[in-house]
């Protein structure tokens, strides 16, 4: 899947991996985030992803040239999760729109675990 930005002089195509990496790095810069977890944490085991695999904790969907970003994160124990989630939503939305020019309509934050 690719996302497309059309300009007056041409088109820019973004792969899903590039958008996921941008969102993953922006998420990791937020206070209270321990790391990203795999999208496939259905069996109850949550795996903390390494820096080079951040995109595996992000799902990007493009509908009508608008992005929907779904994040899977692990947070620090003792922090207010709602505040962390709001910071992540604002940071990811701003970063993706600023770097790519694409419109982000929704950011979904899934908290997969809490670490001490």
Mean pLDDT of the 52-78 span: 86
**Is the distance from CB of 36 to CB of 74 less than 8 angstroms?**
yes
Encoding tokens for residue 49? 């992803």
* Averaged confidence pLDDT in the chain: 85
pLDDT given for residue 19 in this prediction: 92
Q: H or E stretch including 96?
A: helix 81-100
Write out the residue range of the structural domain in which residue 30 sits.
2-115
- The yes-or-no verdict on residue 31 having pLDDT over 90 is yes
- The yes-or-no verdict on residue 52 having pLDDT over 70 is no
- CATH code at 78? 3.30.70.1350
DSSP of 11-51: EEEEEHHHHHHHHHHHHHTSTTEEEEB-TT-TTS---BPPG
Between the two ends of the chain, the Cα-to-Cα distance in Å is 37
Instruction: Work out how many domains the chain is built from and give that number.
Output: 1
116 burial type by CB count under 10 A (0-12 exposed, 13-18 middle, 19+ buried): exposed
Percent of the chain with pLDDT over 90: 50
Cα Dmax for the chain: 51
User: Model's pTM, two decimal places?
Assistant: 0.84
- The yes-or-no verdict on residue 44 having pLDDT over 90 is no
Higher per-residue pLDDT: 58 or 5: 58
Higher per-residue pLDDT: 86 or 52: 86
């Amino acid at each position: 899947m690719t996302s497309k930005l059309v300009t007056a002089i041409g088109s820019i195509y973004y792969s899903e991996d590039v958008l996921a990496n941008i969102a993953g790095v922006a998420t990791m810069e937020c206070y209270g985030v321990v790391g990203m977890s795999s999208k496939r944490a259905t069996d109850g085991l949550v795996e903390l992803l390494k820096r080079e695999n951040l995109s595996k904790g992000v799902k990007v969907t493009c509908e009508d040239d608008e992005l929907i970003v779904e994040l899977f994160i692990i947070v620090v124990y003792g922090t207010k999760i709602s505040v962390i989630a709001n910071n992540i939503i604002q940071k990811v939305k701003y970063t993706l729109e600023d770097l790519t020019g694409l419109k982000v309509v929704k950011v979904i934050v899934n908290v997969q675990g809490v670490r001490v």
